[in-house]
């Protein structure tokens, strides 16, 4: 994860890369929360896809985020403070 602009007070936005290095040959579902990534903005985050800025919704700190990662692939997601 990398902190990026914009900021909201002392809280920064972040980009997270979820990588799959398995050898099964099929996509895998990965589930995590903003807290598990070390994010702490109390109001939660607005999610979007990094490459095309496609909206992925809003989440609170303890709400699950689920992404599907292709074999030998990655998913990059922006997290902006709400």
Range of the domain at 53: 2-81
| Res 62: pLDDT | 95
**34: CATH:** 2.60.40.1180
Which residues of the chain are under the pLDDT cut of 70?
1, 73-82
CB atoms within 10 A of CB 49: 14
Contact 20, 71 (CB under 8 A): yes
| Res 58: pLDDT | 92
User: Could you give the 3-state DSSP secondary structure of residue 66?
Assistant: strand
| Res 65: pLDDT | 92
The total number of structural domains in the chain stands at 1
| Res 79: pLDDT | 58
């Amino acid at each position: 994860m990398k902190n990026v602009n914009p900021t909201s007070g002392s809280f920064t936005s972040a980009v997270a890369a979820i990588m799959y290095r398995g050898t099964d040959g099929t996509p895998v579902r990965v589930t995590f929360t903003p807290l598990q990534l070390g994010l702490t903005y109390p109001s939660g985050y607005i999610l979007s896809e990094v490459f095309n800025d496609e909206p992925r919704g809003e989440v609170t700190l303890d709400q699950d985020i689920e992404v599907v990662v292709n074999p030998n692939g990655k998913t990059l997601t922006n997290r902006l403070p709400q």
